Amino acid sequence: MYDFTNTNEYTFNSALPSVAMQFNGVFIEDELLGYRTLTVSGREMIGVELDTQSVKNGALTLDRRLPSRTLTIEYELKADDNYQFQKKFQQLRSILHTDGEVEIRFADEPDTFYSAQLSGVESVPAHTNHVKSGFTLHSDSPFKFGEVVTSDGGVIINTPYPTPAHEIRLLLSASTQLVTITNGTQEIRLDGNFAIGEELVINTQQGTVMIGANDVTYTVALNSDFENFTVEQGQTVTSPQGAIELRMRERWL
């Protein structure tokens, strides 16, 4: 039996629209009086793009890849007069301004988030202070993500394909010059001088290995699976050098 911990719980104001969007930590409805989310599209399944070559009978698949994701938000915005209407659009543009992708959540899907940024806006009719319009958000990643869950090494996320571990923590039970961490098919190998009681914090997505505030990424062996290490259902991440704490996120297309 694997220990399970969900490290985040989210609750939302039930007065918000069911599709209300939390953008970079805030609901636009809470920040901008007169704004209301109407519809959201782009959260559904994403297909696979196939690179094919025609042959005599049918086609030959040469490569397959996942596309980026686009979220389309339709909204309503109204104001008492044209002056206030323009001010509200300035405020909306300010809310949506970021220097890159940020976390996106929706009220009807609170335990799932997307990483995206503003990419396009629809034109707004002139001579009105009450409109229905829209904007799009671009996500480099096709995936949407669940909350971080923690176990003692067992892979407990319900994801049907290999998924990068969010974080692997290893508490060393003895001093050693070699650390190996495996999921049964892949292995992370570290070569260095490690002391009993030290905790290694491994983040393959950021490409770092830390002991406290000390960066020891230089200990990663060149012949290990550090950059490609993933976890799948049914696996257990283990190390002969100590106890594992595995932190992982589900992700879906």
Pure H helices in the chain: 28-31, 82-96
Contact 175, 148 (CB under 8 A): no
* Topology adopted by domain 9-142: Elongation Factor Tu (Ef-tu); domain 3 (2.40.30)
pLDDT for 11: 53
The residues of the chain that CATH labels 2.60.120.860 are 146-252
DSSP letter for 93, please. H
pLDDT for 2: 44
pLDDT for 56: 87
pLDDT for 4: 44
Rg (CA), the chain: 23
pLDDT for 73: 96
Strands (E), 175-231: 176-182, 187-194, 199-203, 208-211, 214-215, 230-231
pLDDT for 1: 41
Q: Which CATH number fits domain 146-252: 3.40.50.300, 3.20.20.70, 2.60.40.10, 2.60.120.860?
A: 2.60.120.860
Q: Given the structure tokens 């007069």, which residue do they identify?
A: 81
* Best CA proximity match to 63, nearest among 53, 50, 45, 78: 50
Q: Given the structure tokens 């782009």, which residue do they identify?
A: 42
In sequence order, the 6+-apart residues with CB closer than 8 A to the CB of 196 are 172, 173, 174, 175
Residues written for the chain: 253
pLDDT for 234: 87
The residues of the chain that CATH labels 2.40.30.200 are 9-142
pLDDT in tens, 6-39: 545 555 555 789 999 999 999 999 999 999 999 9
pLDDT in tens, 213-231: 999 999 999 889 998 999 9
Burial pattern 239-249, b for ≥16 Cβ within 10 A else e, equals bebbebbbbbb
Q: How far apart are CA 253 and CA 143, in angstroms?
A: 5
* Best CA proximity match to 146, nearest among 170, 166, 175: 166
Q: How far apart are CA 70 and CA 129, in angstroms?
A: 28
Q: Which residues of the chain have pLDDT under 50?
A: 1-5, 7
Q: Which two tokens stand for residue 14?
A: 């039930």
Contact 101, 139 (CB under 8 A): yes
Quote the percentage of the chain above a pLDDT of 90.
62
Q: Which long-range contacts (CB under 8 A, 24 or more apart) does 10-15 make?
A: 10/105, 10/110, 10/111, 11/110, 12/107, 12/110, 13/107
